[in-house]
Chains A and B, each alone.
Chain A
Amino acid sequence: MDEEGRSLPYWHAMACWSAITASVSHELKNVIAVIGELTGLQEDLLAAAEQGHGLDTAKLGTISGKTQKQLARAEAIVQRLNRFAHTVDEPDESTDVAQTMELVASLCQRLADLGEVRLETRAHGEPLRTQGSAFVLLQAIYAAIRTTLQGAPRGATITVSCEPDGDGIMLVVEANHAFEEHEECEPHRSVLALLARELGGKAEEHLAAGETRFVLRIPRAV
């Protein structure tokens, strides 16, 4: 705890929130920038037509199609952001683990892309639900991904998966590279056990001999 009584999970929650919203806003800025250029190009073509250069209707159609594609991209980004925002709605609810895992992976995709790392998910066939805070679950998966991502070399693959584990659920974040300690990933790594405990489970690290594997064992909701 710091002098104002705030704990590591508190700071991690804020850091997670801040990093994800910053990343999503960057993605949206890119979409806005593309749409800005497409509409600008449309104006250029219309201005040229007014000066008697003829109107390229096929080109206008292409621009319109590209704009629609960017709007669909923006819609998907906003939907992800909205689902993320609503994870804090209920402190104790039945949460679909695979869906949360997919959401975190999609929110971390841009970070992975920037590091030229492949981020994959593998869900178990049957629905797996846990009882607790969806945000704490999301934060735990995020912490494991960020820790794994930090030392990942270009071309590495990180896989996030979940499967039944006796009466519980096993969530795994693993990579095909040796784990490297980084100052920046320490807050993510050190909060993992606390978050797992808050979910009624435990966290494990398997970092020996070229292995990078973080495991969360959490209870399964009936």
Chain B
Amino acid sequence: MEKLKVILVDDEEEFITTLAERLRIRGIDTLTATDGEEALRLLRSDPVQVAVVDVMMPGIGGLDVLKHINRNHPAVRVILLTGRGSTKEGMEGMRLGAFDYLMKPVDIEELIEKMSSATSKD
């Protein structure tokens, strides 16, 4: 089975660097980007199977990153992260083509499960 490769996109740098370290411990190749522009730049040179994207970010917001990925990297599945207490943003993201969404704080096992389901549908 191909090794899972993902990108975490969130302006909360400590959050993504720590989560990335934990995912690498679990054998998942993980890239990080602290804004949408950096993520899109990385995706052009370093393809991944799954992008985990925070909805609320400075600059290009998560939903715009999602639209860009859908348009330019259709093979990449997007899982959105939302800090809102409601499911509103997540549902909006799924309407726009996100594979799924998770609320912060994240349960790492649940995240890995969603990443695996995202890639197994290929």
B63 to chain A, nearest CB (A): 13
**A114-B84 in contact (CB<8A):** no
**A193 CA to B83 CA, complexed, in Å:** 34
Contacts of B105 in A (CB 8 A): 29, 32-33, 36-37
One of B56, B57, B104, B108 near A40 (C-beta < 8 A): B108
B25 neighbours in A (Cβ, 8 Å): 44, 48
Is A7 on the interface with B (CB-CB < 8 A)? no
The segment from B15-23, B42-50, B90-98 found at the interface with A is B15-23
Complex contact A30–B83 (CB within 8 A): yes
Q: Which of B12, B15, B58, B85 lies in contact with A25, CB distance below 8 A?
A: B85
Determine the chain A residues whose CB is within 8 A of the CB of B59 once the complex forms.
Answer: 116, 154
Q: Fill in one digit per residue for B1-17: 1 if any A CB lies within 8 Å of its CB, else 0.
A: 00000000000101100
Q: For A115, what are the chain B residues with a Cβ–Cβ distance below 8 Å?
A: 58
A26 touches B22 (CB 8 A): no
Let me know if A34 and B14 touch, CB within 8 A: yes
Per a CB cutoff under 8 Å, which of B14, B19, B21, B56 touches A26? B56
Q: Does A70 contact B (CB under 8 A)?
A: yes
For residue A32, which residues in chain B have a CB less than 8 angstroms away from its CB?
Answer: 104-105
User: Residue B75 at the A interface, CB < 8 A?
Assistant: no
Chain B proximity of A91: nearest CB distance (Å): 31
Taking CB as reference atom, which chain B residue is nearest A154? B59
- Closest A residue to B14 by CB, please name it: A34
User: Could you tell me the distance in whole angstroms from the C-beta of A212 to the nearest C-beta in chain B?
Assistant: 21
> Number of B interface residues, CB 8 Å?
19
Say if the beta carbon of B112 comes within 8 Å of chain A: no
Chain A residue at minimal CB-CB distance from B59:
A116
A41 adjacent to chain B (CB < 8 Å): yes
- How many residues in A have their beta carbons less than 8 Å from beta carbons of B? 21
Q: Which residues of A contact B56 (CB under 8 A)?
A: 26, 114
Are A34's CB and B83's CB within 8 A? no
- Contact status B22-A29, CB under 8 Å: no
Contact pattern, A 14-50, Cβ under 8 Å of B = 1, otherwise 0: 0000000000011001101110111011001000100
A38 touches B18 (CB 8 A): yes
Q: Are B83 and A29 in contact (CB under 8 A)?
A: yes
A66 interfacial by beta-carbon distance below 8 Å:
yes
Contact B58 A37 (CB under 8 A): no
In the complex, the answer to whether A37 meets B85 with C-beta atoms within 8 Å is: no
A-B contact pairs, 26 of them (CB 8 A): A25-B85, A26-B56, A26-B84, A29-B83, A29-B104, A29-B105, A33-B12, A33-B83, A33-B105, A34-B12, A34-B14, A34-B18, A37-B18, A37-B106, A38-B18, A40-B18, A40-B22, A41-B21, A41-B22, A44-B25, A70-B14, A114-B56, A115-B58, A116-B58, A116-B59, A154-B59
Chain A residues within 8 Å of B, Cβ to Cβ: 25-26, 29-30, 32-34, 36-38, 40-41, 44, 48, 66, 70, 113-116, 154
B-side residues, CB < 8 A to A, are 12, 14-15, 18-19, 21-22, 25, 56-59, 83-85, 104-106, 108
